[in-house]
Amino acid sequence: MVSLAGRLNALSRVAVLVAAVVCIGAGLTSRVYGQQPGKRAPLVLLTFDTEMDEDVRAIRDLGVDVPVTYFITGEFAQRNGRLVRQLAERNSIGSHGYSHGNLKEMDRDQMRKELTLQKVVLEREVGRPIRWFRAPYLEYDEEVMRTLEELGFEYDSSDTERWIRNTILTELPITQTSSGMMSDYDIFVERSLSGDAALSYLKEAYDQRAAAGRAFVVLLHPRIIAAHRQVLHGLIEHIRATGAEFVSVDQYVAATRSATPRRTGVWIDLSLGAHDPAQTAADLRAARMDEAFLSANDPSGIDYYGSVTSKLGGEQDAFGRMQKLLKAAGLKVHAWISVNKNLRLAKLRPDLAMHKQNGTASTAWISPSQAEVRQHVLRTVAAILENYEIDGIHLDYIRYPSLNYDFNPAAIERYEAEVGLASVSADDLLSSRHYTSWVDWRAREIASLVAEVRRLVKDKRGEAVVVSAALVADAALSYRAMEGYGQSYPLLAGSLDLILPMAYFQLERKPVEWIADVNFISRYWTGSGKAVLTGLQGYQKPGAFTLDPVTFHRMLEVAAPGTDGLVFYPYLYLFGRGEPSHNLEIDAARTIAAIKTASPAVATVAPVQQPVPARPDANPSAPGPSERSSSGGIGPWWLIAWVVAATGISAGAVLWLLWSRRERQPGLRSSRGGGDAVETDANGPLADWRQLNQSIQLGSVSGQVCVQVSRILRNHGPRGIDKNRLLYTLFLVKRSDGALASFLDAVRSVPGWQQLGLRNLQEATMLRLVLQEGISFGMTPAGEEELQRAIDAGFDPEFWEFVEGRMHETLAIDCPHCGTGNLSNWYWDSFECRSCRATVALHRVERIRCGILDVPADAAILVH
């Protein structure tokens, strides 16, 4: 228990520390960078969850005189119809369920019934469609949201700012700062703050939001806040004093959606293929575009600009030439640089790369925690500012690829320093112990890098140069994506003048209406003082998605309300000047020029079919959008796989060729199937064995002799040898004259006959050629006859002794090719050298040593 308590204590200490740092950090950023010229006052939304009968009185007692929002349960509306109708006159009404039961705990049918009922009841009482919802206890699941969507709800306000997860209805989260959620239940019931403390808590949170120009959404319950009436009035007074505006949710939507795209722009991605600067400038002028985001480097680290100063201003400087022409055409040119994704640097300096949890370095992403990486980014920005008259710095890839990054030692060190722990193991960081503080720290780490860039830009060029960034839309819509990418819109907004959420709906496999959600939530995060330019897809991807002219216009229609501008990716495909399969089939100049003139009526511009000029020189495997999902790195691996395959196959082919050449040389291949008798003599008459025997007795013979002996032995073949052996056995039986002992002696004197003699005797006995019964042993008449017939036919026992002797004699032959000594036997007229593997015919050998008696194979002594 003690250790548990200790751990909790430590945890809370960490939490307090983190909270403090967050406060200071947020305060600093808002103070230093939050002051925007021409900033509009923030919008304040007071929302009342109304479900109990005490609330009737509380609402009357409170006497709130600003537009607010009531989320009302169906039951309450049924019982207090008059009050609800009264409230609906000035305020927005949303639904809060029917019975205020926990929707997550209901079964499906009950939940559906509950949601249907509340909508019907409320709409009957209020007399207009109910589009807003807030879940009782803020508890819901996907099924609930789907049902609400089916029922015609459009907006929800059940998430808190830090934990947005609803992606089905458009979400307006409840404000939550590092110190807590803006909820009277939290303040008075859970934390039991006093009135003064509660007021200063709310005021502080509001100030923080107001400084950023962001909306302030407070969750209240009439019956709770009525007990602390002075707090609410104090807050309202404070807010009024700052000039902010109180709005209901419907007014908020109207205000948010009122923005129209006054600016249009395009990303010019020089890595997609050849760009003609003059034509580009002409195209953009024709389209009446304002902003050009021109790639100063590309994510693969091949710098069109960057630190390679030798390229500046020269023929190679594609960026410089394009920038001058665009500028001359009246566009604002932003130098578009990739921050955390830099393949070249990551490969060059793996120590600067982001690390995965298992410690391996990324090959694409560089760690924002490394001082050198920050210097590199800042140096790049500084060089751009010095060398070009640009209007903005546009940052891309300011994020982590996923939660699996960044575990670079420098990152862990910096995190340790911040949480004040001595050594944090990388394996622990995603555990519940560190998770929240770790992901929050990551987001701040990214934000601080952007803040440094901003400071540099403003120091050098002041307000003349704006800082903008392309952000992942999902990071705004879901806290999971925010945590994964470490890309926090509110933290980044402080350092940015322009925010460009990339709403590539087809790439993200979302319906086109999703873009409206991206606009809505981006505005919530960035506040009223910043310009939000929605990034739109200006290309199609064969095999993945096609963006036909009708869909394109629908996209413009959805994207236009609630954004300050539309920016398309990429120029090349949007204007049909890239790879035909990627190009859009629209009259880009006309369509885009029309956006600003007739902003809300974009849809009236008819899609125009226009022949697309073919561009054979364009890069056929052009990459897609500027920001791709982390799985986009398949290219290199296929390349490696193919290189390996090609190497393997060509190595195989070369080996094979070598081998087939080798095969033509004699004897190098292991012999398969009868490999004997190469180049033997013709079938001449057999030599006289007695003459041969004489030369053999000398202990050394010529190869010719060996071949002749071999021919004699082979003349009989295995069957002939068997037969002659039987005859020879009969001969021995006859010679031993009835004495078994002398027969056995005779057998032993024949090499290799110890067993053969007995076997042949047995066979002769079975054939009734020899009689062996008790002590009697001798030839039968049939045996006598058989032997006599054989001798008459030419069987010569002496010759057979010669044959048996040769069968068990070893020849020693030196290989004529390599000189290695080999052993063989008379039976074979060729041999394969054990060293050089050549098959040698014996008649080619001059001298062969013979007469070496082979030791019986069974003998248990070693012979060398």
Which residues in 381-440 contact other proteins (CB under 8 A)? Answer: 401-404, 426-427, 430
Residue 843 near other proteins by CB under 8 A? no
CB of 401 to other proteins, least distance (A): 7
Query: Which listed residue (214, 341, 355, 356) binds other proteins by CB under 8 A?
Result: 356
Residues numbered 359 to 378 that lie near other proteins (CB under 8 A) are 360, 363
Nearer to other proteins, 43 or 354 (CB): 354
Handedness of CA 346, 351, 355, 360 (dihedral sign): positive
Q: C-beta of 532: minimal distance to other proteins in Å? A: 28
78 vs 404 by CB, closer to other proteins: 404
Taking the complex as a whole, the smallest distance from the CB of residue 55 to other proteins amounts, in Å, to 39
Give ∠ CA 595-601-606 in degrees, rounded to 5.
80
Question: Shortest distance, CB of residue 106 to other proteins, whole angstroms?
Answer: 26
- In the complex, minimum distance from the CB of residue 300 to other proteins, in angstroms, rounded to a whole number: 16
Using CB under 8 A as the binding criterion, the count of chain residues that bind other proteins stands at 80
Among 123, 204, 207, 854, binds other proteins (CB under 8 A): 854
Residue whose CB is less far from other proteins, 159 or 474: 474
State the CB neighbour count (10 A cutoff) for residue 201. 20
Round to whole Å and give the CA distance between 575 and 565. 18
* Region of 290-298, 343-351, 489-497, 640-648 interacting with other proteins (CB under 8 A): 640-648
Integer Cα distance of 391 and 462 in angstroms: 11
In one letter, which amino acid is 801?
E
Q: Which of residues 646-685 bind other proteins (CB under 8 A)?
A: 648, 651-652, 655-656, 659-660, 662-663, 669-676
Q: How far is the CB of 766 from other proteins (least distance, A)?
A: 12
User: Roughly how many angstroms between the first and final C-alpha of the chain, as a whole number?
Assistant: 81
* CA distance readout (Å), 528 to 43, 207, 531, 734: 8, 15, 8, 128
Cα angle vertex 394, ends 392, 399, to 5°?
Answer: 155
The burial of 39, by beta-carbon neighbours within 10 Å (0-12 exposed, 13-18 middle, 19 or more buried), is given as: middle
Q: Does 621 bind other proteins (CB under 8 A)?
A: no
CA distance 430 to 439: 8
For the CB of residue 654, give the shortest distance to other proteins in the complex, in Å. 10
| Closest approach of other proteins to the CB of residue 757, in Å | 10
* 163 forms part of the interface with other proteins (CB under 8 A): no
* Shorter beta-carbon distance to other proteins: residue 422 or 859: 859
77-85, 307-315, 324-332, 636-644 -> range binding other proteins (CB under 8 A): 636-644
498-502 and 466-472 as β-strands: parallel, antiparallel, unpaired? Answer: parallel
Using CA atoms, how far residue 229 sits from 202, 235, 639, 690, in Å, is 14, 10, 69, 138
> Angle 742-747-748 (CA atoms, 0-180°, nearest 5)?
95
Stretch that binds other proteins, among 35-43, 105-113, 382-390, 855-863 (CB under 8 A): 855-863
Give the residue with the Cβ less far from other proteins, 82 or 664. 664
278 scored as a contact of other proteins (CB under 8 A): no
When the beta carbons of 24 and 658 are compared against other proteins, the nearer one is 658
- Binding flag, residue 243, other proteins (CB under 8 A): no
Handedness of CA 352, 304, 398, 631 (dihedral sign): negative
* Residues 685-744 close enough to bind other proteins by CB under 8 A: 713-714, 718-719, 721-722, 725
**Min dist. Cβ of residue 242 to other proteins (A):** 39
Q: How far is the CB of 568 from other proteins (least distance, A)?
A: 26
Shortest distance (Å) from residue 221 CB to other proteins = 34
Least Å from the CB of residue 434 to other proteins? 12
Residue 831 beta carbon to other proteins: minimum distance, rounded to whole angstroms? 5
Instruction: Decide: residue 863, CB within 10 A, 0-12 exposed, 13-18 middle, 19+ buried.
Output: exposed
Applying the rule CB under 8 A, the residues between 443 and 502 that interact with other proteins are: 480, 483-484
Out of 32, 254, 302, 640, name the contact with other proteins by CB under 8 A: 640
Distances (CA, A) of 789 to 83, 254, 727: 139, 129, 10
Q: Which of 168, 424, 756, 767 binds other proteins (CB under 8 A)?
A: 756
Question: 278 or 644: whose CB is closer to other proteins?
Answer: 644
CB closer to other proteins out of 60 and 509: 509
> Which residue from 1, 241, 741, 861 is in contact with other proteins, where contact means CB under 8 A?
861
**For other proteins, the closer CB: 670 or 776:** 670
Q: What angle do CA 479, 346, 334 make, to 5 degrees?
A: 65
Smallest separation, CB 842 to other proteins (Å): 11
SS (H, E, C) 731-773: HHHHHHCCCHHHHHHHHHHCCCHHHHHHHHHHHHHHCCCEEEE
**Phi then psi dihedrals of residue 157, to 5 deg:** -140, 60
What gap in Å lies between CA 386 and CA 372, rounded to an integer? 20
Token pair in block for residue 226? 């009525």
Identify residues 768-827 at the interface with other proteins (CB under 8 A): 807-810, 822-825, 827
CA distances, 178 to each of 18, 23, 25, 160, 440 (Å): 9, 7, 11, 12, 11
Half-sphere exposure of 193 (CA within 13 A, CB side): 20
Which of helix, strand or coil describes residue 163?
helix
Token digits for 160?
Answer: 């808190």
Taking the least distance from each CB to other proteins, the nearer of 200 and 693 is 693
CB-wise, 371 or 818, nearer to other proteins? 818
User: Would you say 402 or 487 has its CB closer to other proteins?
Assistant: 402
Could you say which DSSP state residue 401 is in?
S
SS3 state of residue 648: helix
Q: How far is the CB of 373 from other proteins (least distance, A)?
A: 20
Nearer of residues 394 and 725 to other proteins, judged by Cβ: 725
Q: Is the previous residue joined to 406 through a cis bond, with omega within 30 degrees of 0? A: yes
